């Protein structure tokens, strides 16, 4: 990261009433620029959004069972269109970086603690007046946006010809599954990947609530399962190079043991495939995606349609529409 970003981080510390001269260590992050002192973490959002301000209004309202770092201060005065947040630093490491070194019992303990936090979050209502916020998928409980995006992807020829018609047909024949989704007025994390889950050997801490919003709880399941299937998509480059799906193949079954309700519901398998398709369509429509990223997205769409995706182990446990 640039020295200018470090200047912004130090200004954030100063505005939070902390020592701006404290030693800083930069952390790799997918969505923000992140710096760490011995006691605090500074996050900078360089995009013209208010994700961190929204998160700062939301997280203090969550129940204590949702384990998370304590927010110290936030604002948007460190530079033009740059917002910042300072939180207390928690012990431990992201699960993505320690999972492979953990034994079976420790993995079960971590999933049990994660289940406790998720259940509390999924039982929480959004605070009054909280803006909707950004979603990583194109669909929660309505399919109009999904259909419109599929048509736009087809019009712009972003999908291989063999898949374009199949996507539209899949949405048409499976969209009824969305009507069976869990309640949509409760909160989800919205970016539930192992990079955003800290583990200190005893406790789980959820990080980065900037995509937290009201949605059916199984949207979080879609995000977590996608991380398990494609962990390289959800980690900074230096970490992504060390990850592969086989390392996390046991995660869904272990979480299911501690949080079986998350894996229940009529037409869950079809609904998750629609959520996953919404993620891929958003990727295809993103003008900043590289040609290689678009090719990989095409591959994942075809895997979803052909029954060889990261979701297909669910087929035997969830009713489908076929």
What pLDDT shows up at residue 80? 58
Residue 44 lies in a domain: yes
192 and 72, same domain (yes or no): no
Q: Which of 42, 61, 88 is the last residue of a domain?
A: 88
234 and 298, same domain (yes or no): yes
pLDDT at 206 over 90: yes
Among 28, 27, 42, residue whose Cα is nearest residue 74: 42
Q: Which of 88, 121, 147 is the last residue of a domain?
A: 88
164 and 72, same domain (yes or no): no
Residue 280 lies in a domain: yes
Taking only the tens place, the pLDDT of each residue in 259-293 is 999 999 999 999 999 999 999 999 999 888 888 88
Residue 41 lies in a domain: yes
Q: How many domains does the chain have?
A: 2
What pLDDT shows up at residue 322? 41
Sign of CA dihedral 290, 152, 320, 275: positive
Query: Across all residues in the chain, what is the average pLDDT?
Result: 90
Least confident of 140-154, 171-185, 307-321: 307-321
99 and 71, same domain (yes or no): no
Q: What is the pTM of this model?
A: 0.90
Q: Which of 88, 107, 122 is the last residue of a domain?
A: 88
What CATH number should be reported for the domain holding residue 61?
A: 3.30.200.20
What CATH number should be reported for the domain holding residue 300?
A: 3.90.1200.10
Residue 236 lies in a domain: yes
117 and 222, same domain (yes or no): yes
40 and 117, same domain (yes or no): no
In whole angstroms, give the CA distance from residue 103 to residue 85: 34
In whole angstroms, give the CA distance from residue 164 to residue 149: 11
Taking only the tens place, the pLDDT of each residue in 77-129 is 655 568 899 999 999 999 999 999 999 999 999 999 999 999 999 999 988 88
% the chain with pLDDT above 90: 68
The structure tokens listed for 117 are 């936090």
Higher pLDDT, 258 or 128: 258
In whole angstroms, give the CA distance from residue 207 to residue 94: 9
Domain that holds residue 277: 93-317
In the chain, what's the furthest Cα-to-Cα distance? 61
Coil, strand or helix: which one is 127?
Answer: coil
Residues with Cβ within 8 Å of 218's Cβ and at least 6 positions away in sequence, in order, are 181, 182, 262, 265, 268, 271, 272, 275
25 and 55, same domain (yes or no): yes
Residue 322 lies in a domain: no
217 neighbors 119 (Cβ within 8 angstroms):
no
In whole angstroms, give the CA distance from residue 245 to residue 108: 18
77 and 102, same domain (yes or no): no
Residue 1 banded pLDDT, cuts 50, 70, 90? very low
153 and 107, same domain (yes or no): yes
In whole angstroms, give the CA distance from residue 111 to residue 102: 12
What pLDDT shows up at residue 297? 94
149 and 13, same domain (yes or no): no
Residue 65 lies in a domain: yes
pLDDT at 318 over 70: no
264 and 142, same domain (yes or no): yes
Mean pLDDT (whole number) for 124-153 = 83
29 and 178, same domain (yes or no): no
């Amino acid at each position: 990261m640039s020295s200018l970003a470090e200047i912004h981080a130090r200004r954030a510390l100063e505005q939070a009433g902390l020592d701006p001269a404290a030693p800083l260590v930069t952390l790799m992050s997918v969505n923000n620029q992140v710096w760490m002192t011995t006691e605090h973490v500074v996050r900078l959002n360089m995009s013209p959004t208010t994700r961190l301000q929204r998160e700062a209004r939301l997280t203090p309202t969550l129940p204590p069972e949702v384990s998370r770092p304590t927010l110290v201060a936030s604002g948007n005065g460190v530079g033009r269109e740059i917002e910042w947040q300072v939180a207390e630093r928690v012990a431990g490491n992201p699960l993505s970086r320690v999972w492979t070194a953990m034994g079976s019992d420790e993995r079960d303990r971590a999933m049990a603690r994660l289940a406790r936090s998720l259940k509390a979050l999924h039982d929480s209502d959004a605070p009054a007046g909280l803006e909707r916020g950004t979603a990583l998928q194109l669909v929660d409980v309505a399919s109009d946006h999904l259909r419109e995006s599929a048509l736009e992807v087809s019009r712009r020829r972003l999908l291989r010809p063999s898949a374009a018609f199949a996507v539209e047909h899949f949405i048409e024949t499976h969209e009824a599954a969305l009507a069976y989704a869990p309640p949509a007025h409760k909160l989800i994390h919205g970016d539930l990947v192992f990079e955003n889950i800290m583990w200190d050997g005893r406790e789980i801490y959820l990080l980065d609530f900037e995509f937290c919003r009201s949605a059916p709880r199984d949207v979080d399941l879609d995000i977590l399962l996608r991380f398990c299937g494609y962990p390289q998509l959800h980690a900074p480059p230096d970490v992504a190079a060390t990850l592969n799906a086989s390392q996390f193949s046991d995660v869904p079954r272990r979480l299911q043991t501690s949080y079986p309700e998350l894996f229940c519901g009529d037409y869950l398998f079809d609904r998750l495939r629609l959520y996953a398709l919404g993620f891929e369509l958003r990727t295809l429509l993103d003008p900043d995606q590289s040609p290689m990223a678009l090719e990989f997205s095409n591959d994942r769409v075809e895997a979803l349609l052909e029954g060889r995706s990261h979701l297909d182990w669910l087929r035997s446990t969830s009713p489908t529409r076929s």
